[in-house]
Amino acid sequence: MRIDILTLFPNMMTMFFEESIVSRARKKGLAEICFHNLHDYSLSRYGSVDDYPYGGSAGMVMAIEPLANCIEELQSQRTYDDIIYTAPDGELFSQSMANELSLKQNIIILCGHYKGVDERLREHFITREISIGDYVLTGGELAAAVICDAVIRLLPGAIGDEQSALEDSFQDGLLAPPEYTRPPEFRGWRVPDILLSGNHAKIQQWRYEQALERTRQRRPDLLKN
C-alpha cells in the first residue's frame, strides 16, 4: 500500500513514521509513505498556499490551485483509490473505516490547515473527508498520523501476531476484554482463576462476557448498533 501525505509541515510527521510498528511495516515494504510539502506547490514568491476568504470572514483558506497541482502531479503517476481530506467536519473515523482503507492500493491524505481548503477542491478532487473526533486540532497532520497508524497495523505482516489485530477493541463491535500477564499475584491482587485454568473454551466465553460487560458500562452506544 502507498500513502501520499500532502502537508504544510512534513517535519511534524516524519518522526512518527520512523518508530515502532509503522516503521517496521515500511521497512518490510508493506507500506510506502511519501510526504509532499505543499509549500513546494506555492504560486507565490513566499511559498504561501493560503489566501483571504471571499466574503471577508476571519482567518485564511488554503487555495485550490497549489493543492490541485500537487494532486494532479501524483495522479499522473498512478491511480488513487481515495483522496482523503482531514477536517473536523468530515465523517467520523472508525475501525470499520480503517479496515476498509487497509484494502486500498494507493491513497492520498491531504492535511487541512487554517480555516480549511477552498470548497471547490473538496467538491472536485476529494473523495473522502475524515474527522478523528469532535474537537478542533491546529491541523490535519495528527489526524493523518492517526489514520495511517490504524490502517498500517492492519496490513498482513505488520504486527507479529495477526490474531491480535482481529481481537482489537471495535473489531467485533465490542471493546476488548481485560488482559493480564505474569506474575499471577501482585500485592495480593490475583489474576482471575479462569485465565490460569487452561480451559480454552471457558476462557473464550469469559473473554466474551467481559468484553460485553465492559462495552455495556463504558460504551453502551456501541451495543445499539
Is the torsion defined by CA of 18, 20, 23, 27 positive or negative?
positive
Of 86 and 210, nearer to ligand ADE (C-beta) is 86
Q: Under the criterion CB under 6 A, does residue 135 sit at the interface with ligand ADE?
A: yes
| The one among 136, 166, 196, 223 contacting ligand ADE by CB under 6 A | 136
Residues from 96 through 115 that contact ligand ADE (CB under 6 A)? 112
Q: Under the criterion CB under 6 A, does residue 137 sit at the interface with ligand ADE?
A: yes
Range in contact with ligand ADE (rule: CB under 6 A) among 1-9, 119-127, 130-138, 215-223: 130-138
Query: Smallest distance, Å, CB 205 to ligand ADE?
Result: 38
SS3 58: coil
b/e code 64-74 from CB counts within 10 Å (16+ = b): bebbbebbeeb
Rounded to an integer, what is the distance from CA 58 to the centroid of its chain?
30
Instruction: Name the residue whose CB lies closest to ligand ADE.
Output: 143
**Rounded CA gap, 90 and 93, in Å?**
8
Q: Residue 102: phi, psi to the nearest 5?
A: -70, -15
Write out the residues near ligand ADE by the rule CB under 6 A.
86-88, 112, 131-133, 135-137, 140, 143
